[in-house]
Amino acid sequence: MSKENYDTKLVVLEALPQEAVKSPTIPVDVFMQEAENLFVWAEEDKETLVAKGLDWQTYAEDLPTRTGACRYAQALWMKERYSQEEAAKAWREESPKAYEFRNDLLADLRFAFRKRPDLIARVRAIADGEGDADMIQDLMDISVLGQSQYSRAGKSEV
């Protein structure tokens, strides 16, 4: 049901101007529970509230749909948040292996191309730079360089 509520309200939410969006000041689950409680309590007093001027349709009738949509959005956000945290943790654990692998490959290429100044210059260029994105690009560049030299040498010579 919450997904249907979310799908129903998504167009409305996406149309909100960014300046109208506010961060919650209390945990979302607490806010949703309080809103749902207020709806139940307000239903008991609907006649009195409407008689006092409350526009029931605008402020109350749609509340269960809104809270359902918000609960689903919160679940999506939590899933994404923890997926990113898990990916960051995995990266912290595994990236040292990737750096070591890159360094080993660069050493191998320096040895393999030791008599080829043109290729050594390319290896040096690959080795320049730092950071995770550079290391990932280095691995791709090493692969392309290695494959091109393998193809040129002829598979039977390697």
Give me the count of residues in the chain: 158
User: Could you report the per-residue pLDDT of 43-99, keeping only the tens digit for each?
Assistant: 999 999 999 999 998 889 999 999 999 999 999 988 888 888 888 999 999 999 999
Whole-angstrom distance, CA of residue 133 vs CA of residue 77 = 26
pTM equals 0.54
| Domain range summary for the chain, segments of one domain joined by + | 2-148
